[in-house]
Amino acid sequence: MERLSRFIGKHGIAAFLRLPLYPVVSLLWGPVRLLSTLCNSRILLTGKWSEYLMYRPYQGISFLFYWTQALNLKRFGRNGISPLVGLGNFNLSVWWHLSLPSSYLFRKAGSVLAPASMFTWWMMHVLWISNPLINAPCPWWFLVMVLILISSTFFAGAFVFLNYNALGWLFFPLGLWGMETGNYFVAGLAWLGASFGSLTVVFIASYLSLISAIRLESFAPLLALVPALLKLSTHFFHLTKGSFFSSLLNIAKLIGLVDQNAKYRRSKISNSIGYFYFLFLYFQFAVVYFWITQEIHWLFCGGIVLYLANRFVARFADNQSLYLTMFSLACMITLQTSDLLLLASFWLVVSPLPALLGDVTQGCPLDVPPALKPFRVQVIIDKMSRFLKPVRSKDRVLMAFSDPKGSYEKLFDGYRRLLEVPCYIGSSRGFHFFPDWYAVSETNYEGAPDLWGRAPSEVSANLKRWEASYAIVYQDSGTELDTHWERNGYKTIAELDWEDCRDDLMGGIPCEMGKPVPKWWLLAPNS
C-alpha cells in the first residue's frame, strides 16, 4: 500500500487507472512513436556519428563508460597496462569479456549500432516464412512481424538500453532458426557472429543449445557452438590463471554475487515489482502455449528458469539481456503458431510498460512516453574539456566523494553517471581521473587503502597518498565555494555548474537518489 500511495502521489490517480489499458494504448501509440523517433534520427544522416551517443542523456552519459574502455583497449591493447584506469596501473587483460569489434563500433557509432542491430534482428525473423515445417499462413507472419516492430521491447532495445552487446543480439534469431530447423551449420555461423559482439549472447546460446541437445538426444546443437567458443578462447591468451580468477572475483563482488571479504556490498533489498511483473508475463505465455498445443516448449521454459536463476542463484547478466532472450523466444514461437489467443498473450510479453524497461521520461505519462532523438554527447564532452583544460597529460585528478561506509548504493554520492564524462576525457587526453568503477574494484576488499573524503583535511591526505595534482569538489548548483578550501591552502582553477548544461542534456541532469544538481570546482593546492 505504501508503494501504491507513492505511485499515486507521483503520477496521479488518472495514471493508475489507465495502467490496465496500456496494452491497447501501446498498440496505437507504438507505431507513431517509432516513426517519430526514426524521423528525429535523420540528423544522423549527416554523419558525425561519433558525436552522438544513445537517445537519452541518462543512458548517453552512462554509456561513456564503454567509450572509455574502447579508448584504453585501442591505445594499450588487450594485454596492456593502462595508467588511466583504476588506480593507475590497470591490467587490461581482465577485460577478457569485452569484444573488440563491438566495442570499437559502439565508440564510433553509439546512436547507430543498437537501432541498426535491432532492425537487422527483426528482419532475421523473415526466415521463418520459408520454413517448410510451418503451416502458418502469410497474413499471420505479416501480423506478427508488425507487432514485433511496434512493441515496447523492440523500441527499448533499439533506442534505450542496448550498448555494444547489440552486435551480438543481431545474430540471435538466426541462431535460433538454425537450431530449431536442424541447420546446425547456419547456427554455428550465427553463434560465431554473435561471439564478435557479446560474450553474454554466446553464454545464453550455449545454455539453450544444451537444452536442445538434451531434448533431441543429439550432440549436434552443442557442436554448432564450437566456432564461437574457439573465437572466445582467444580472449584468454594473455591471462594467467591468477588474473583470470581474480577478475572473476572482482566482478562477482561488484555485482553482489560474492560478499566474502568485500568492502562494498549491494543491498539485498530491491524493488521486486518489475521483476515479478515480467515473470508473470513469461509464465502466462508458457501456459497459453501449453493450453493451445498440449505441449511444453522446452526452450521457452528454459528461458524462464534462466530468468529465475539470474535473480536467485547467480547474477551473470543484466535484466535487459534476459528481456531480449525471452523476447526472441516468444517471437520464434508465435511466428510458428497461428492462434489468436496466443497472439494476445504474445503482445503482453513483447510490449510491457516502457518504464519497466528503463524507457521512462521525467514528467511524462508512463503509458504514453514521448518520441526520442539522438543525444549529442559531444556538447557535454566539450564543456567538460574546457573545465579540465588546465590538466596536463600524465597528471592525476582526484574527485572527492563521501565515504560510502561499505554500501555499494552510496558509491560516488549518487553522481556516478556524471563521473563518466571526465573519465572519458582523461583517457582521451592522457591524464588519470579517479576514483572510477575499476578503482572501486581494485580496493574492494577489507583493509584496502581509502579513496574517500570531502573535508579539506581528507582531500589533502588523499592527494598526498595517491600523488594527485588536482582535486575536484562539489556543492549544490548556484552556490559559491566554501571559504574553508581557501583557508586550507587551495586555489580555484576552474568551475562548472551542471545546471548550465540542462539544455544540452535535454532538460534533465542524470543524478541518482534524488540528489540535487551539483556544481564542480577544480582545485589545486598552493604548495
Note down pLDDT in tens along the chain; length 527 residues.
555 455 545 555 666 567 778 888 899 999 999 999 999 999 999 889 999 999 999 999 999 999 999 999 999 998 899 999 999 999 998 888 899 999 999 999 999 999 999 999 999 999 988 765 555 677 888 999 999 999 999 999 999 999 999 999 999 999 999 999 999 999 999 999 999 999 999 999 999 999 999 999 999 999 999 999 999 988 877 665 455 556 555 555 555 555 556 777 776 555 578 899 999 999 999 999 999 999 999 999 999 999 999 888 877 888 999 999 999 999 999 999 999 999 999 999 999 999 889 887 776 677 788 999 999 999 999 999 999 999 999 999 999 999 998 888 889 998 999 999 999 999 999 999 999 999 998 888 888 888 999 999 999 999 999 999 999 999 999 999 999 999 999 999 999 999 999 999 987 888 886 789 999 999 999 86
**Residue 445, SS3?**
coil
Using alpha carbons, list the distances in angstroms from residue 406 to 110, 247, 347, 515.
34, 20, 43, 19
Confirm whether 429 is domain-assigned: no
Spatial CA neighbour of 213 closest among 245, 248, 187: 187
Confirm whether 399 is domain-assigned: no
Confirm whether 501 is domain-assigned: no
| Rounded-to-10 torsion of CA 403, 358, 13, 512 | 20
**pTM exceeding 0.85:** yes
d(CA 249, CA 261): 11
Confirm whether 35 is domain-assigned: yes
Spatial CA neighbour of 22 closest among 359, 272, 339, 286: 359
Q: What confidence score (pLDDT) does residue 21 get?
A: 83
d(CA 329, CA 297): 10
**Residue 419, SS3?**
helix
Q: What confidence score (pLDDT) does residue 240 get?
A: 56
Residues 6+ apart with CB under 8 A from 90: 72, 81, 82, 83, 84, 438, 442
Q: What confidence score (pLDDT) does residue 247 get?
A: 58
Q: What confidence score (pLDDT) does residue 8 get?
A: 47
Residues 6+ apart with CB under 8 A from 55: 37, 111, 159, 160, 372, 373, 374, 375
Confirm whether 72 is domain-assigned: no
Confirm whether 177 is domain-assigned: yes
Confirm whether 514 is domain-assigned: no
Residues 6+ apart with CB under 8 A from 309: none
d(CA 99, CA 197): 6
Q: What confidence score (pLDDT) does residue 1 get?
A: 53
d(CA 373, CA 37): 6
**Residue 182, SS3?**
coil
Domain range spanning residue 343?
2-46+112-236+273-357
Q: What confidence score (pLDDT) does residue 136 get?
A: 65
**Does residue 395 contact residue 469 with C-beta atoms inside 8 Å?**
yes
Total structural domains in the chain?
1
Confirm whether 128 is domain-assigned: yes
d(CA 499, CA 520): 11
